[in-house]
Each structure stands twice: as structure tokens, then as C-alpha cells.
Amino acid sequence: MAYWAMYEPVGFGPPDRSIRDRCMIQPHIAVVDDDAFQRRVLEEYLSRQGYRVSGAESGAELRTLLARRDPVDLILLDVQMPGEDGFAVARFVRERGNIAIIMVTAASDTVDRVVGLETGADDYVVKPYEPRELAARIKSVLRRTGRNNGAPPAANGRLRFGRCILDLDARRLTTLDGDGVALAASEFALLKVFAQHPNQVLSRDRLLDLTSNREMEPFDRSIDLRITRIRRKIEVDPSKPEVIRTVRGAGYIYAPDGD
């Protein structure tokens, strides 16, 4: 990660209970990077931005962190780590639930960006980057996932999406039998927009406006990638979508119960 600050990192012992209680409304960010110095610099920077931050040098350490009774809201995940790379870690996280993921890497290849998003990442940052850009992206992802400073979702209730049920309160997607379905935070944001605009044709531009800051999008076709992933989860036959349909030349439409 970028060397924008050269200073000694602060201690990394767990905060006492009184400090922890005061900080519970702060979003909790996990920084996963095998480079100890860069990881600590980023932890210090994000702490100064008002976030609670935990560090992990590998996927194994992240698993230990996620097993604690201290929910993580967003993971900054380095791609190029020895052993288990960031893509494998992202797949594990996505199977666990809808924790937001921003992947961080030195690679600028579009293929890597596509692979990162297909594994369930919500955004992608290429090193070197400006710290203010990273902070803006974090704020954007937390806002669109409803986790910034404990902000509640804008809508409530349970809605049918094809062969699944979306619980807007719990931010959870399940099959009709009640089995959990892995859902990226960016996918949830898109489903919530469709839930709020049933039977309305929404263009890609409109979907970008409603789900995130346009300037924060990794690249132009991110909406298409998200919808492709969602269709694999909710449609009976993803190749012939009935719930989220394509309107040629116009965008997409959510048809409740496939009507």
C-alpha cells in the first residue's frame, strides 16, 4: 500500500472495555496485507479518520478475526499475498455473508479487476493511490451498504426475488427453504434499489446514481457484472431471466414474482 506517511505506528493492543463501548458506533475495518509496515501505516491512517481498525497478515488471521464477537463492516484486502491470495480470501468472506470488500493491489490489468468483482468485491483500488481517494471509496461503500455510523437501511420488509427471499432488515438473501445465499454488499445495494422501484425500467446510469457515487465505480460495466452474479442466485434459469429482465437499449426492470 502507498507510502504516504513515514511515522512510527501506535500500539496494537486491544482497547479497554470503556474505550470499546464508546467506539461501538464506529465502522470496523479489517486491513489484510502481508506487509507489516504498510499494514500498520494504513491502520494508523484509518484510525485517524475515525474508524476502528484491525489488522491481519493473512487469510488465516482474518478468519480468526471474523470468528470473534466483534462484527467487521468492511475488509481492505490485498490481492498479492503469499500462499492464499486475495481472490481466495474474498471467496471465503463472501460465503460467510455480506461483509463489504475493497480489494487493493498493484495490478492494473482489467482481467484482475473483473476477477475481483466476480469473487464478490464491492470496489477495487490500484496501488499507488491517494489516501483521500481510498477514504472516499471506503465512505462510499459503507454508505451504500448502510453501515456508516450505524445508519439503518432505508427500507424494511421481506421481498420475493425469484427463488429467493430478500430480508431488507437483516440484509440477508435466503432460498425459499431458508438456506442462506452469499450476497456481496454491492449486490444487496442493487437488489434494494430494485425492491424500491418494482416494474420500473432503470438505466445503468440511474442504477449507478442510486447505488453509489458514480466517480467511485471501478469501471463502466460494473452494474452488468453485479446483475449477472445476482441472476445466478435468484433466477430459476439465469440464461432466461424472469425476475430482473434486460430491456434492450434502456436498462433493467425488476418484475416481482416474474410477472
Angstrom distance (rounded) from CA 26 to CA 84: 29
- CATH topology classification for 158-258: Arc Repressor Mutant, subunit A (1.10.10)
**Positive or negative, the Cα torsion across 39, 42, 46, 47?**
positive
- Note the CATH number of domain 17-150: 3.40.50.2300
Return the residue matching grid coordinates 418484475.
255
| pLDDT score at 18 | 38
pLDDT recorded at residue 113? 63
pLDDT of amino acid 36: 93
Q: Max alpha carbon distance in the chain (Å)?
A: 60
Q: Give CA 253 to chain center in angstroms.
A: 23
Domain chopping of the chain, boundaries: 17-150, 158-258
pLDDT of residue 9: 35
Task: Report, in angstroms and rounded to the nearest whole number, the Rg of the chain calculated over CA atoms.
Answer: 19
C-alpha to C-alpha distance for 124 and 215, rounded to whole angstroms: 13
- Cell for 197? 422501484
Q: Quote the CA–CA distance of 154 and 205 in Å, as a whole number.
A: 21
Q: Which residues of the chain have pLDDT under 50?
A: 1-24, 149-156, 213-219, 259
Grid cell listed for 245: 429482465
